[in-house]
Amino acid sequence: MFLLNGERRHCVDVSDRGFQYGDGLFETIAVYQGKPLFLQQHLDRLRAGCQRLFIPYPEQDQLKAEVKQLCEGSDTAVLKIIVTRGSGGRGYRQPDSIVPTRLLSLHPFPEYPANFQTDGVVLRFCQQRLASNPVLAGIKHMNRLEQILARAEWQGDAIQEGLMLDYDGHVVEGTMSNLFFVKDGVLYVPLLTYCGIVGIVRQKVVSLAQYNQIGIVEKQFDKTRVLEADEVFVTNSVIGIWPVKQLDQQCFKVGRITRRMQQWYAEARTEELKL
Amino acid sequence: MFLLNGERRHCVDVSDRGFQYGDGLFETIAVYQGKPLFLQQHLDRLRAGCQRLFIPYPEQDQLKAEVKQLCEGSDTAVLKIIVTRGSGGRGYRQPDSIVPTRLLSLHPFPEYPANFQTDGVVLRFCQQRLASNPVLAGIKHMNRLEQILARAEWQGDAIQEGLMLDYDGHVVEGTMSNLFFVKDGVLYVPLLTYCGIVGIVRQKVVSLAQYNQIGIVEKQFDKTRVLEADEVFVTNSVIGIWPVKQLDQQCFKVGRITRRMQQWYAEARTEELKL
């Protein structure tokens, strides 16, 4: 199911700068009972990304109407929203008048084994690093070769996610998730000022920690800090919160703070879907 | 004029990973009297990029036949070749069996004023930096947001190109060109191990310098080295060689080595087009 600039089409002109240069942004949103979860937060991040890249943010009411049109009648699904700079300009130079392309698409919700939530997942450290570029950090833009190359480092079902470092050796995030770890009752989260994507669930976890008076520290950490943690978990909008039971050769228990955070997150999700 | 996987179409499926993530490579080739200039060198770079990104390099004979089909009967034009990883896979994970998308397109040759070649062009230093990522350096991949943001820093006709630095302050290249400078009769060219694109004309200039016994030094330089140069020029496959007459507030003469290099390049081009 696709809506390309409001029409039921799934074929884009090859001159679209999203195709030529990855010149755009995207959002990946979980849909439950036809309702997109934390839609406004996703749209706010999309708007912030548009501002950063000088792409005119699409008319929000129209976007929301198209979201509704696409999601209504669906049950559990994944909604993807893409906004590109559209066609035009010469080479890298943007067109004088930008007409963004917007694409909404609905996809099946991935069937993850239930024990990923309960027992945890297996991670590895990737060789591929994340380059630091503050201008592009935090936003969910479409230049994703680094993540593609990192994900290409492993196949099969034994490993669920890979963690990526920056070129100074700081652990930043997973190829498709954000990272948290717990040590001595304090929650730690990597700083994303120089690279990485500021996830919607990451931000929700930070708020839940603050609201529930769990100490939270955001800074740059090297591998050792993560490997010496008491608990580790990863987050994104589709998986929610996955505990990490193993990272390379290091094993972790699924700890108390991780369990409480999963509980608070599930409650926040239920509340949000009632609205 | 477009050939998408051999068909006269210019609309690509939105699931193409070139659209979703910039997951692909491209070549920009000058065409004179229906002949693509230095075609084999461009295809060799495309193959090297495919190897780096684990994209199967398309069948070369078929590619060449499509190049011929598109270019025959044209006069002066710009040929663009795009190869993406095609559709499929889940998220960043590639499909088990990759079917690349190939797109060939012919475009009008830009009408640059003749005096760009003779009198030189005006450059500026960009604020936007190039992030260092050796795995992606050198190849002409489709993740081009850095160049787009750099190019967005200026409008109008007063400035023809912008030079980009890496995050350590080394001058790397222009937004759409490679850089050379001359000091005391020696030709200097920035090292492209960590970022930037290894241009076909850049490589040709390096060969011409070696062949004509002009000393050539390839290393990392800061801004001062470029601003203190005797001569500066930029290169790409469409512009050939443009002398630089001004960079920010610093003016340069169009010097002897630049003129000789333009002459040797014009001769090499003529030879190539005869073949």
pLDDT, residue A203, reads 98
pTM for this one? 0.96
Question: Considering only CA atoms, which of A51, A56, A78 is closest in space to residue A67?
Answer: A78
Q: Are B86 and B53 in contact (CB under 8 A)?
A: no
Question: Considering only CA atoms, which of B7, B205, B18, B241 is closest in space to residue B118?
Answer: B241
Chain B residue whose CA is closest to A27: B20
Cβ of A144 within 8 Å of Cβ of B149? The answer is no
Q: DSSP code of B134?
A: T
Confidence band of B96 (pLDDT split at 50, 70, 90): very high
Using the Cβ of A19 and the Cβ atoms of chain B, whether some distance falls under 8 Å is answered with yes
pLDDT, residue A81, reads 98
CA-CA distance, A107 to A28, in Å (whole number)?
A: 10
Cβ of A132 within 8 Å of Cβ of B167? The answer is yes
Q: Which of B13, B92, B177 to mutate to test the interface with A (most CBs of A within 10 A)?
A: B92
Cβ of A148 within 8 Å of Cβ of B21? The answer is yes
pLDDT, residue A2, reads 96
Using the Cβ of A14 and the Cβ atoms of chain B, whether some distance falls under 8 Å is answered with yes
DSSP calls for B31-100: EETTEETTHHHHHHHHHHHHHHHTPPPPPHHHHHHHHHHHHTT--SEEEEEEEE--S-SBTTBPPSS---
Phi, psi (deg, nearest 5) at residue B43: -65, -35
Cβ of B92 within 8 Å of Cβ of A176? The answer is yes
Indicate if A115-258 has the same CATH topology as A2-108.
Answer: no
CA angle A203, A208, A212 (to 5 degrees): 155
pLDDT, residue B192, reads 98
Q: How far apart are the first and last CA of chain B?
A: 25
Q: What residues contact A64, with CB distance under 8 A and at least 6 apart?
A: A39, A43
How many angstroms separate the CA of residue B104 from the nearest CA in chain A?
Answer: 10
- Chain A hits for B142, CB-CB cut-off 8 Å, are 20-22
CA-CA distance, A31 to A273, in Å (whole number)?
A: 9
CB within 8 Å of chain A, chain B residues 49-108: 53-54, 82, 85, 90-94, 103, 105
- Chain B hits for A10, CB-CB cut-off 8 Å, are 13-15
Share of chain B above pLDDT 90, in %: 99
In this complex, the residue of B2, B133, B144 whose CB is nearest that of residue A21 is: B144
Strand A186-190 with A178-183, pairing: antiparallel
- Please compute Rg for chain B using Cα positions: 19
Using the Cβ of B132 and the Cβ atoms of chain A, whether some distance falls under 8 Å is answered with yes
CA-CA distance, B151 to B202, in Å (whole number)?
A: 21
What sign does the CA torsion over A174, A141, B159, B214 have?
positive
Q: Domain locations in chain A?
A: 2-108, 115-258
pLDDT, residue B219, reads 97
Q: Is B186 helix (H, G, I), strand (E, B) or coil?
A: strand
pLDDT in tens, chain A (275 residues): 999 999 999 999 999 999 999 999 999 999 999 999 999 999 999 999 999 999 999 999 999 999 999 999 999 999 999 999 999 999 999 999 999 999 999 999 999 999 999 999 999 999 999 999 999 999 999 999 999 999 999 999 999 999 999 999 999 999 999 999 999 999 999 999 999 999 999 999 999 999 999 999 999 999 999 999 999 999 999 999 999 999 999 999 999 999 999 999 999 999 999 87
pLDDT, residue B104, reads 98
Cβ of A142 within 8 Å of Cβ of B2? The answer is no
Please name the helix (run of DSSP H) or strand (run of DSSP E) that holds residue B15, with its range, or none.
none
Phi, psi (deg, nearest 5) at residue A127: -75, -45
Please name the helix (run of DSSP H) or strand (run of DSSP E) that holds residue A58, with its range, or none.
none
Condensed to tens digits (0 to 9), the pLDDT of residues B216-226 reads 999 999 999 99
CA-CA distance, A23 to B145, in Å (whole number)?
A: 6
CB pairs under 8 A between A and B: 145
pLDDT, residue A269, reads 97
Tokens of A128: 């591929």
Catalytic residue among B28, B64, B80, B223: B28
Chain B residue whose CA is closest to A166: B133
How many alpha carbons lie under 13 Å from residue A104 in its C-beta half-sphere? 22
Using the Cβ of A114 and the Cβ atoms of chain B, whether some distance falls under 8 Å is answered with no
Q: How far apart are the first and last CA of chain A?
A: 25
β partners of residue A179: A234
Condensed to tens digits (0 to 9), the pLDDT of residues B163-198 reads 999 999 999 999 999 999 999 999 999 999 999 999
Chain A residue whose CA is closest to B135: A128
Cβ of B144 within 8 Å of Cβ of A143? The answer is yes
Q: Are B104 and B42 in contact (CB under 8 A)?
A: no
pLDDT, residue B3, reads 97
Chain B residue whose CA is closest to A132: B131
Tokens of B28: 């920009």
Chain A residue whose CA is closest to B174: A92
Give me the interface pTM, i.e. the ipTM. 0.95
Architecture of the domain spanning B115-258: Alpha-Beta Barrel (3.20)
Confidence band of B243 (pLDDT split at 50, 70, 90): very high
- Chain A hits for B132, CB-CB cut-off 8 Å, are 131, 167
Condensed to tens digits (0 to 9), the pLDDT of residues B11-58 reads 999 999 999 999 999 999 999 999 999 999 999 999 999 999 999 999
CA-CA distance, A58 to A100, in Å (whole number)?
A: 7
- Chain A hits for B4, CB-CB cut-off 8 Å, are 14
Tokens of A168: 């100074």
Cβ of A4 within 8 Å of Cβ of B14? The answer is yes
Cβ of B12 within 8 Å of Cβ of A11? The answer is yes
Cβ of B132 within 8 Å of Cβ of A131? The answer is yes
How many angstroms separate the CA of residue A207 from the nearest CA in chain B?
Answer: 27
In this complex, the residue of B82, B128, B133 whose CB is nearest that of residue A131 is: B133
Q: Are B57 and B46 in contact (CB under 8 A)?
A: yes
Catalytically active residues of A are: 28, 140, 173
The 3-state DSSP composition of chain B as helix, strand, coil percent (nearest 5) reads 30, 30, 40
Catalytic residue among B27, B66, B173, B231: B173
Q: pLDDT at residue B247 above 90?
A: yes
Using the Cβ of A29 and the Cβ atoms of chain B, whether some distance falls under 8 Å is answered with no
Cβ of B128 within 8 Å of Cβ of A135? The answer is yes
Architecture of the domain spanning A2-108: 2-Layer Sandwich (3.30)
CB within 8 Å of chain A, chain B residues 173-192: 175-176
In this complex, the residue of B2, B12, B85 whose CB is nearest that of residue A19 is: B12
